[in-house]
Amino acid sequence: MPKQLSIVKKIFRYREVIQNIGRKIILPALILVLWYLVTRFGNVHPLILPSLESIAREFISLIQSGELPMHICISLKRCLGGFLLGSFLGITSGILMGWSRIWADFFDLLINFIRSIPKTALAPLFIVWFGLGDMPKILLIGLSSYFFTVIPTIEGVRNVDNIYIKSARSMGANEWQIMKSVMFPAALPSIFAGIRLAVTTSLIVLVMVEIIAGNNGLGYLLQVAQENLDMATMFATLFTLGVLGYCLDAGMQYLARVVMPWRKGKTLSI
Amino acid sequence: MKLEINGLKKIFINSIRGNLLVLDGVNLKIASGEFVSIIGPSGCGKTTLIEIIAGLQQKTDGEILIDQLPIEKSPSNCAIVFQQYALFPWLTVQKNIEYGLKIRKIDKKERNNISRKYIGLVGLNSYKKYYPHELSGGMQQRVALARALANAPDILLLDEPFAALDAQTREDCQRELLRLWQQIGITIVFVTHDIGEAILLSDRVFVMSSNPGTIKTVIDINLKRPRESSVRVEKTFRVKEMNIRNLLNNGQGEVA
């Protein structure tokens, strides 16, 4: 009997999942239909809006030639490299600065000064310093990820309820143990808010730098498409970037659920 | 463990609003295995007193002795249970109870044994994999109690532990606490503002007055144990209750 019950439950959950996907897909589908109708029956020049078929054809041929996968790999490597570097440093130093006023004061001016400079404005400087390779791109993405994670981490640590710290201390925890076993998990929700911003912004910074100074990567592909007025490639690349960004964000949300199982059912967020 | 406090004084230093004398000349002696309550008007320094005993706040002056040894040098330990439960939301019931053991680097097998024992003692066997927010208030407080006891404290300090619970659950928890105390034979210091609760549970009740906080009177509760909640209608119970109520009211001046 319980086994049958679980099968029934599974079917219900299955239906629920389909329903959720259904709701999410309506709007994009409508837009695609509209696009199709406009390019097919409207009098739009293909240089402004190419037909869906031509984009799909271009997309498939870009994949088959191996060109698109190569650019994706190059871009993803830079993006993830910078993101991981920056958010790791952001989270660790954020915990330190949230915990100790002394460290926070020590870094305060520098951090808030550099934070106020748009990362895009630093691109020319980094290109002069580090050349046209991966280095300046990874560093710029790292810098942006750092700032997106460090501030929420500091705030998260500072907002930890004192009662948890008292409780841990009363059970004999020392400062290091409190930092590890209380501050860090208690600050995780706000750390993850920062991580989500950081990962999406990584893609933005990446494409921007690749457009300015790339000889490969998705940004470079866009820039070449612009020069050749190759609208099919341009839209195929934009589509790829959209999918990539969506997947990165979904990945982070999935990670949040895995790392913070206790949040399930407690808040609206997960 | 015998707990003795002599001339305890606590001043909150505040350069803007001026220093505040919270506790002044608090003296008390608690025998090993005794159950005592501390009762007093809100703001009389009950929580400060208990947090000083727990080592969470520094005393300004005076001495706290456990078995004649100053608390700073004493190998025995105190566990504290707070009104807000203070369970870690990111740990399951079992992991919460094992927290203090993990801090003291007790190996996993031993930790599991101890947590199983105390989860059983508070009757939450089937909830060990739950997170705190999935439990009711009464269950959360039982977990907090189990977590404190798992550290095998010599003295258990409870700071208005049942104040946030509804009347029904509170009575269940009181009964359970008495049962555990009789079973384990631990010294308990119980802070409350509920007169009936203090009399029902304790061997002795310390009545505090405020501004500054000090022990005003000690009242012996000579009711036989084990006590059922029917003890509340006995004459001795009601007389003591009235007695403490008058003491608290006088301490507050005009307030009726």
Structure tokens at A74: 């190059």
- Nearest C-alpha neighbor of A163 from the set B134, B191, B88, B22: B88
Chain B contact for A189, CB < 8 A? no
A161 CA to centre of own chain: 29
On chain B, the residues whose CB falls within 8 A of the CB of A259 are: none
Say yes or no to pLDDT of B253 above 70: no
Say yes or no to pLDDT of A3 above 90: no
Percent of chain B with pLDDT over 90: 69
Is A249 domain-assigned? yes
Residues B229/B199, Cβ–Cβ less than 8 Å = no
Please state the domain count of chain A: 2
pLDDT at B251: 52
CATH number at A169 reads 1.10.3720.10
A229/A232 Cα distance (integer angstroms): 9
B244/B228 Cα distance (integer angstroms): 21
Residues A141/A206, Cβ–Cβ less than 8 Å = yes
A253/A192 Cα distance (integer angstroms): 8
Residue B255: pLDDT band (50, 70, 90) is very low
Which residue of chain A comes nearest to B96, CA vs CA?
A168
Residue B227: pLDDT band (50, 70, 90) is confident
The answer to whether the CB atoms of B104 and A163 lie below 8 A apart is no
Residues A230/A181, Cβ–Cβ less than 8 Å = no
Chain B contact for A167, CB < 8 A? yes
Say yes or no to pLDDT of A5 above 70: no
- What percent helix, strand, coil does chain B show, rounded to 5? 40, 25, 35
- Give the strand pairing for B3-12 and B187-192: unpaired
Is A269 domain-assigned? no
Is A54 domain-assigned? yes
User: Are A88 and A141 within one domain?
Assistant: yes
The answer to whether the CB atoms of A172 and B77 lie below 8 A apart is yes
User: Are A114 and A167 within one domain?
Assistant: yes
Residue B252: pLDDT band (50, 70, 90) is very low
Write A8-12 long-range contacts (CB < 8 A, 24+): none
Is A268 domain-assigned? no
A13 vs A159: which has the higher pLDDT: A159
Return the minimum-mean-pLDDT range out of B92-101, B138-147, B210-219.
B210-219
User: Are A68 and A166 within one domain?
Assistant: yes
pLDDT at A270: 54
User: Are A40 and A131 within one domain?
Assistant: no
The answer to whether the CB atoms of B151 and A186 lie below 8 A apart is no
Is A270 domain-assigned? no
Q: Helices A119-130 and A184-213 meet at what angle, rounded to 10?
A: 60
B114 Cα to chain A: minimum distance (Å): 15
B234 Cα to chain A: minimum distance (Å): 38
A220/A207 Cα distance (integer angstroms): 8
Residues A204/A26, Cβ–Cβ less than 8 Å = no
Terminal-to-terminal C-alpha distance of chain B: 38
- Choose from B85, B103, B133, B154 for mutation: most chain A CBs within 10 A: B103
Chain B contact for A65, CB < 8 A? no
B55/B53 Cα distance (integer angstroms): 5
Which residue of chain A comes nearest to B87, CA vs CA?
A164
B148 Cα to chain A: minimum distance (Å): 8
Chain A contact for B78, CB < 8 A? yes
Q: Share the mean pLDDT of chain A.
A: 91
pLDDT at B41: 87
Chain B contact for A165, CB < 8 A? no
Nearest neighbour of B56 by CB, restricted to A169, A188, A266: A169
Chain B contact for A63, CB < 8 A? no
Contacts of residue A174, defined as CB under 8 A and 6 or more positions apart, other chains included, come to none
User: Are A116 and A21 within one domain?
Assistant: no
Structure tokens at B175: 């009964």
User: Are A38 and A81 within one domain?
Assistant: no
Residues A153/A91, Cβ–Cβ less than 8 Å = yes
Chain A contact for B21, CB < 8 A? no
Is A17 domain-assigned? yes
A192/A91 Cα distance (integer angstroms): 10
User: Are A111 and A237 within one domain?
Assistant: yes
Instruction: Report the phi/psi class of residue B160: left, alpha or beta, with left for phi > 0 and alpha for psi in -120 to 50.
Output: left
Residue A266: pLDDT band (50, 70, 90) is confident
B2 vs B76: which has the higher pLDDT: B2
Domain housing A252: 50-263
User: Are A40 and A100 within one domain?
Assistant: no
Under DSSP, the state recorded for A1 is -
Is A108 domain-assigned? yes
Residue A1: pLDDT band (50, 70, 90) is very low
Residue A2: pLDDT band (50, 70, 90) is low
User: Are A70 and A200 within one domain?
Assistant: yes
Residue B39: pLDDT band (50, 70, 90) is very high
A239 CA to centre of own chain: 16
Chain A contact for B51, CB < 8 A? yes
Residues A100/A175, Cβ–Cβ less than 8 Å = no
Average pLDDT over residues A241-269: 89
Average pLDDT over residues B118-130: 93
Strand partners, B11: B21
pLDDT at A9: 74
**AA identity, residue B121:** L
Residue B197: pLDDT band (50, 70, 90) is very high
- Choose from A161, A162, A171, A181 for mutation: most chain B CBs within 10 A: A171
User: Are A27 and A92 within one domain?
Assistant: no
Predicted confidence (pLDDT) per residue in A14-61, tens digit? 888 888 888 889 999 999 999 999 998 988 888 889 999 999 999 999
- Nearest C-alpha neighbor of A138 from the set A76, A59, A52, A65: A76
Instruction: Report the phi/psi class of residue B9: left, alpha or beta, with left for phi > 0 and alpha for psi in -120 to 50.
Output: beta
Percent of chain A with pLDDT over 90: 79
- Choose from B88, B134, B155 for mutation: most chain A CBs within 10 A: B88
The answer to whether the CB atoms of B89 and A173 lie below 8 A apart is no
**AA identity, residue B13:** I
B90 Cα to chain A: minimum distance (Å): 5
Q: Share the mean pLDDT of chain B.
A: 90
Global confidence as pTM: 0.84
Please give the interface size between A and B, counted as residue pairs whose CB atoms are below 8 Å apart.
57
The three-point CA angle A103-A104-A105 to 5° equals: 90
User: Are A11 and A127 within one domain?
Assistant: no
Is A59 domain-assigned? yes
Average pLDDT over residues B225-230: 86
pLDDT at B147: 95
Return the minimum-mean-pLDDT range out of A18-22, A68-72, A249-253, B204-208.
A18-22
- Choose from A167, A177, A182 for mutation: most chain B CBs within 10 A: A167
For residue A210, give the H/E element and its range. Answer: helix A184-213
pLDDT at B76: 67
On chain B, the residues whose CB falls within 8 A of the CB of A166 are: 51, 56, 82, 86
Cβ count near A155 (within 10 Å)? 16
- Give the strand pairing for B61-66 and B204-209: unpaired
The answer to whether the CB atoms of B56 and A170 lie below 8 A apart is yes
Q: Helices A231-259 and A218-227 meet at what angle, rounded to 10?
A: 160
User: Are A58 and A114 within one domain?
Assistant: yes
B178 vs A17: which has the higher pLDDT: B178
